[in-house]
Amino acid sequence: MYKTILPLCFLLSAGLAKAQNQSSGDTTQYSLALPSLRLTPDARFSGMCNVGIAMPADPNSMHFNPSNIVFSKQKFNFGLSYAPNFSSPEEFINYFSLFGKLGKKNALGASVRFAADSMLVDTAKARQQASNYLQKQLNRNMELGFAFAHKFGEGFSAAVSGKYIMSSFAAWKDSSGAAILSPSAALAMDLSATYQRKFKIGTPHEGLETNGEFRAALSVTNIGTKLEYGANGLNAQSYQANLPTNMGLGLGFTYTVNKDLAFSVGGDFNKLLVPQVSNIDINGDSIPDYQQMDAFEAMLSSLQDSPDGFLGELKTMVYSIGAELKYKKRLSFRLGHQGKDLIQDLENRLAAGFGFHINVFTINASFAREIGTSNTRGGNVNLSVLIDLSNLGKKKDK
Which tens digit of pLDDT belongs to each residue from 217-256? 999 999 998 887 665 554 445 667 788 899 999 999 999 9
CATH number at residue 97: 2.40.160.40
Q: What pLDDT score does 59 carry?
A: 96
Containing structural domain, residue 341: 2-388
Residues 181-200 have a mean pLDDT of 90
Which residues on neighbouring strands pair with residue 272, listed in sequence order? 246
- One-character DSSP codes across 53-100: SSSPP-TTHHHH-GGGGGG-S-SEEEEEEEEE-TTSTT-EEEEEEEEE
Which tens digit of pLDDT belongs to each residue from 153-163? 889 999 999 99
| 396 belongs to a structural domain | no
Contact assessment for residue 331 and residue 271, using Cβ atoms and an 8 Å cutoff: no
Q: Which of 134-148, 168-182, 324-338 has the highest mean pLDDT?
A: 324-338
Q: Give the largest Cα separation in the chain, rounded.
A: 79
| 395 belongs to a structural domain | no
Which tens digit of pLDDT belongs to each residue from 6-29? 333 433 434 444 433 333 344 567
* Domains of the chain: total: 1
| 249 belongs to a structural domain | yes
Residues whose CB falls within 8 Å of the CB of residue 187, separated by 6 or more in sequence, listed in order: 162, 163, 164, 165, 224, 225
Q: Which residues of 250-287 are buried (b: 16+ CB within 10 A; e: fewer)?
A: bbbbbebeeeeebebbbbbbbbbbbbbbeeeeeeeeee
Percent of the chain with pLDDT over 70: 75
| 333 belongs to a structural domain | yes
| 129 belongs to a structural domain | yes
- Indicate the SS3 state at residue 280: coil
| 131 belongs to a structural domain | yes
- Indicate the SS3 state at residue 359: coil
Q: What pLDDT score does 138 carry?
A: 66
Binning pLDDT at 50, 70 and 90, where does residue 298 land? confident
Which tens digit of pLDDT belongs to each residue from 97-144? 999 999 999 999 999 999 887 654 333 333 344 444 444 456 788 999
| 153 belongs to a structural domain | yes
